[in-house]
Amino acid sequence: MKRVFSQCLKELNQFRRDRLTVALAFVLPLAVLLIYGFAIRLEAKNIPLAVQDFDNSFLSRTYVERLFATQQFVPTPLEGTTPTAALDRGDAKATVVIPPDFERRIKSHKPVTVQALIDGTDVNNARVIQNSLRATTQFFLRSSGLVPAQAASPIQPHLRIWFNPGRREALYIVPGIFGVILWVFPSMLASIALVREKEQGTIVQVYASDLSAVEWLLGKELAYVIVGLGEALVVMLVATLLFNLRFRGDPTTLIVGTVIYLGAAVAFGLLVGARAGNQTGAVQGTAIAGFLTALLLSGFIYRIENIPFPLSLVSNIIPARYFIDITRDAFVRGTGWIGVWYAPLAIALIGGFFFRVATRVLHRMQFKD
Amino acid sequence: MPLPTSRFWSLTLKEIRQILKNRQIIFLLLFPPTVQLLIFGLALNPAVDHLSLGIVDYGNSPSSREFVAALVANDVFEVQSFQPSVGALGQQVRRGQVSTGLVIPPDFGDRLAAGKSVDVQVLIDGVDANTAGIAGGYMQQIINSYGQNLARGSGMRPEVPVEVSAQFLYNPGLLSSWFFVPGVIGVVLTLTGSLVSSTTVIREKDTGTLEQLLMTPAQGWEILGAKIAPLFVVLMGDVLLASAIARLVFGLPFRGNYFLFLALSGVYVFVCISIGILLATISRTQQQVVLTSFFFNVPLIQLSGAIAPIESMPAFFRTLSFFDPLRHYVTIARSLILKGVGIGALLPEVFTLVAFAVLLLGISVNRFRAQLN
């Protein structure tokens, strides 16, 4: 045990002396927090919409005004002759074409068709555009008295949005960022530390000593979990101040979860470092791989249920997925242990597996034959 | 500009041999791009459908069951469970087991039969704010149109004076992979290009062979040119690999001129190589490259619109995204692959991309030469 602690102290001292790495270890997570926290917004807004109004009557102008009354669409001029030209150039995401007899047909109670050409490239946007064009048209009809009020539905839905009634997107994104940051950086630092020992040959001295692989790795594990805790503290503190996050209820899930998650991340880094030979390129490749899986297969951006079958199995062994359950619960949902009891267990299981494999790779503490 | 000399060619040959001999680089050129394209293309899906719905049906009458059947008819919602009480339903929403809930009151059928209006309660898990908003909108739309049909009496077509006929161009099936894969080709090129080129440059610095090269009569531009040319060739190989995956696995249409796509991808490959060299000149060791690459790649990817839409970003980041070369490449790739436009519709993006390539290559070459002296 004492040897593990002295390993850990030696590692921390070495880390502290490399000023650039220390700076990057704390600046990079903050940079990622700021970029993701401010720049990822999924709700479709400011969609450029072009209108070709062949009627140019009172009713058609009212209709166009209605379309832009919500903040969802911004008008964009329709240059060129065809309605698709603006879509081709990407100046508009949709073009609405109002036929010349728009007002006349409405007044004579004949149905009118308004054509909407929607850029289907961005699938999510396309659906949102279609839905809100329909909804706005309904609203236009009711507000201009073109549809009798008695057609109202007898069933009245009362919507209640739980946990995040203002639908602030930061509450969804920022707890997810914790999962990405606290996976990528601690694991990267740990794997770099291990590869450095191989590159500089200091690992041979460890081989020659009577230190066992488990003791040596545990020392490193402990050291980088401590560094990771420092990162977690800084990132969460800045995030709560900048994005106005608050604890909902029991903070022990977050504390326990963070420690276990950092343990798993560092164990993953050690495993990568142990396997990588002395090539940093491999470490970088794995860092990207860890980053992408934490980003894509954890439900950080889009719903985890949308991941199709063979890949959804992989997402089950991504620890970030479980940690994000914990952070979203701690900062938004607030159920506590009843809601997320499984998450620390799953992370511990996966992390334990990583550590076990890492010690097996190094267990002989000898050069490879 | 002197003509390529035999010295240049022998240096180039040396670089090619080094790349081909280094199995790690071959691996980095083939494996991560393939996996990244597959994972990105399959995993990134913003669809809001098959939302789990928990139901408390106090009415438990034919009319309430009909109502539930209408709610789930178009697969936006999917009944996950029936709960005996609001309390039990609340538990499920709280634990995230269902993302939406519906409470139907006991007098649902009686009130409707009597022609009175009836309130139903809808609970939506708001943790995922965007999904919650869309789900709420769907819920209201479905319930309203069901109710209106009831009011008019069944069998009658709803009478709508103005109808919107929507037509989806470029991607009529609304496949999300069609949207993401062209952007991801850019992301993959950025990650692989900067990684491979920074690795090859920094290794010579690390092992000291760069000094040996400097002692030979080769000029600075020859050393650098001989480094860039093979990198360009192997990364163009990655472009071919990526477009083959896009075509064969995801069935992307490639409507535009493919050679134009290759040419503009080539311009972007220069951007990636420049970033890689820049990383290698900023960092002293390979470990620092690993860390500094995050400084460049994360904002580059995030502001490009390849993963999350640019229009929804705050104004500041929307402006910032114009300074992201990847953003322009992603626009070009989507336009050429999906829209099938000619170069005429892409002129602003093409000019910006070429400008970025020239600027970044200039900066990185200058920095590299400054380090040589």
Residue of A nearest to B289 (CA): A284
Average pLDDT of chain B to the nearest whole number? 86
**What is the H or E stretch that residue A136 is in?**
helix A123-143
Over the stretch A285-299, which tens digit does the pLDDT of each residue have? 667 778 888 888 898
Asked if residues A331 and A339 have their Cβ atoms less than 8 Å apart, the reply is no
Q: Do A288 and B141 touch (CB under 8 A)?
A: no
Least confident of A92-106, A156-170, A318-332, B48-62: A156-170
pLDDT tens digits for B90-125? 888 888 888 899 999 998 988 888 878 888 999 999
Question: What gap in Å lies between CA B320 and CA B300, rounded to an integer?
Answer: 10
B147–chain A Cβ distance below 8 A for any pair:
yes
CA contacts within 13 A on the Cβ side of A97: 14
Domain limits of chain B?
A: 6-44+172-372, 51-152
CA neighbor of B120 nearest in space, from B161, B150, B97: B150
Q: Which CATH code is given to the segment(s) B51-152?
A: 3.40.1710.10
Q: B221 at the A interface (CB within 8 A)? A: no
Chosen for mutation from A102, A124, A174 (greatest number of chain B CBs closer than 10 Å) is A124
Backbone angles phi, psi at A53, to 5 degrees: -100, 100
- Tokens coding B178: 């069609």
Among candidates A114, A47, A131, A117, which has minimal Cα distance to A87? A117
- What is the interface size between A and B, counted as CB pairs within 8 Å? 348
CA distances from B315 to A46, A125, A173, A217, B349 (A): 10, 18, 18, 47, 20
Average pLDDT over residues B266-292: 86
Phi, psi dihedral angles at A267 (to 5 degrees) = -60, -40
Sign of the C-alpha dihedral, residues A275, A281, A284, A288? negative
Tokens 């072009």 — which residue? A50
Query: Could you tell me which residues are beta bridge partners of residue B169?
Result: A119
pTM of the model: 0.87
Q: Do A163 and B291 count as a contact with CB atoms less than 8 A apart?
A: no
In chain A, the residue whose alpha carbon lies closest to the alpha carbon of B286 is A280
Residue, of A57 and B18, whose pLDDT is higher: A57
Please give the ipTM for the structure prediction: 0.84
Where do we find the tokens 């919602």? B77
What was the pLDDT predicted at B1? 46
Rounded to an integer, what distance in angstroms lies between the CA atom of residue A61 and that of residue A145? Answer: 16
**Averaged over B19-23, what is the pLDDT?**
79
What CATH superfamily classification does A47-151 receive? abc type-2 transporter like domain (3.40.1710.10)
Q: In this complex, is the C-beta atom of B259 within 8 Å of any C-beta atom belonging to chain A?
A: no
* Residue B153 contacts A, CB cutoff 8 Å: no
Q: Which B residues in the span 11-40 are in contact with A, Cβ-Cβ below 8 Å?
A: 24-25, 28, 32, 35-36, 39-40
CATH 3.40.1710.10 in chain A, residues? 47-151
Model confidence pLDDT, tens digit, residues B123-140? 999 888 888 888 888 888
Q: Indicate the pLDDT class of residue B226, thresholds 50, 70 and 90.
A: confident
Residue from the list B48, B143, B165 with its beta carbon closest to the beta carbon of A153: B143
Give B8 to chain A, closest Cα distance, Å.
Answer: 27
**φ, ψ of residue A74 in degrees (nearest 5):** -120, 135
